[in-house]
């Protein structure tokens, strides 16, 4: 099973992990809806929906760059309509867009709290809701419909909340969508899963966080390859839905034990760990 001819709606696909997942699917000849905010170049954060479209096209895919703020319902609904008009439907939703602020309660402005929850939890729910009618059609047509959300396993341990309660709440909101929607959509034959990295991933956004050693991170391609395994699994099988996958565990389970090619610095054994992995 591959992604040839499938249509993926990927939020935050203008750069980083979302773009890496898009390019991996593009290698099969997939249609990629790039639903992201950035339309003009930013010297601090490279990548726009248009530059992403060029990279996806070069990788063999068929891009549709759409300016979308996933906090805005009208923009999301319009993007879904344009995707259907261009490609005939939507087979896969990747909820990748996310906002982060590693601040404690005292130093988290409510505006920042609203931003994180608006993009992470609410945005994930909204995009899933908006794509659901098309995903149901895809599943009914036997096209292997999936929802994949880039969010961590749920854990009620204090140490994941105490340093940045607002961010953890917002990120876990995405994971709760996976938990609920996996059960809710099972009757339709739509698989719903989460995927999360064990290590920090070297993206332009990460480089904006002070003190992170990029050389001790892995490349976004590890998540792209792990996502591909999820999205090409049989959505109708119960074991393929409701999972909170960790990238290296999933790859190892599929026989990919040597992960050195994903290291920013080949030979690295001590990586910067990501949040939320016990």
**What residues act catalytically?**
167
Listed in order, strand segments (DSSP E) in 82-219 are: 92-95, 146-149, 191-196
Listed in order, strand segments (DSSP E) in the chain are: 7-11, 31-36, 62-67, 92-95, 146-149, 191-196, 244-246
Cβ atoms of 145 and 235 within 8 Å: the answer is: yes
User: Nearest CA to 84 among 159, 136, 46?
Assistant: 136
Distance CA(220)–CA(161), nearest Å, equals: 25
As a whole number of angstroms, the longest Cα–Cα distance in the chain is 51
Which residues does 111 contact at the CB level (< 8 Å), separation at least 6?
none
Place of tokens 């805005």: 72
Distance CA(95)–CA(174), nearest Å, equals: 9
Interior CA angle at 189 toward 29 and 183, to 5°?
A: 120
């Amino acid at each position: 099973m591959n992604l040839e001819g499938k249509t993926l709606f990927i939020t935050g696909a203008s750069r980083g992990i979302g773009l890496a997942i898009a390019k991996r699917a593009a290698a099969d000849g997939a249609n990629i809806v790039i639903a992201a905010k950035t339309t003009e170049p930013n010297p601090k954060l490279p990548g726009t929906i248009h530059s992403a479209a060029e990279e996806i096209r070069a990788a063999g895919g068929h891009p549709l760059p759409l300016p979308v703020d996933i906090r805005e319902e009208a923009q999301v609904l319009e993007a879904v309509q344009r995707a259907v008009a261009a490609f005939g439907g939507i087979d896969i939703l990747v909820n990748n867009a996310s906002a982060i602020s590693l601040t404690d309660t005292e130093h988290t402005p409510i505006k920042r709290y609203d931003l994180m929850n608006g993009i992470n939890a609410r945005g994930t729910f909204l995009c899933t809701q908006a794509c659901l009618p098309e995903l149901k059609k895809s599943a009914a047509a036997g096209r292997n419909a999936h929802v994949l959300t880039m969010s961590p396993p749920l854990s009620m341990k204090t140490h994941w909340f105490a340093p940045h309660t607002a961010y953890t709440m917002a990120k876990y909101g995405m994971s709760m969508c996976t938990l609920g929607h996996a059960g809710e959509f099972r009757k339709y034959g739509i698989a719903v899963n989460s995927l999360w990295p064990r290590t920090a991933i070297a993206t332009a956004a990460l480089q904006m966080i002070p003190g992170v050693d990029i050389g001790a991170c892995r490349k976004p391609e590890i998540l792209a390859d792990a996502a591909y395994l999820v999205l090409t699994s049989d959505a109708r099988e119960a074991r393929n839905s409701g999972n909170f996958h960790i990238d290296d565990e999933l790859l190892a389970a599929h026989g990919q034990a040597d992960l050195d090619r994903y290291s920013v610095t080949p030979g690295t054994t001590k990586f910067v760990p990501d949040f939320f992995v016990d």
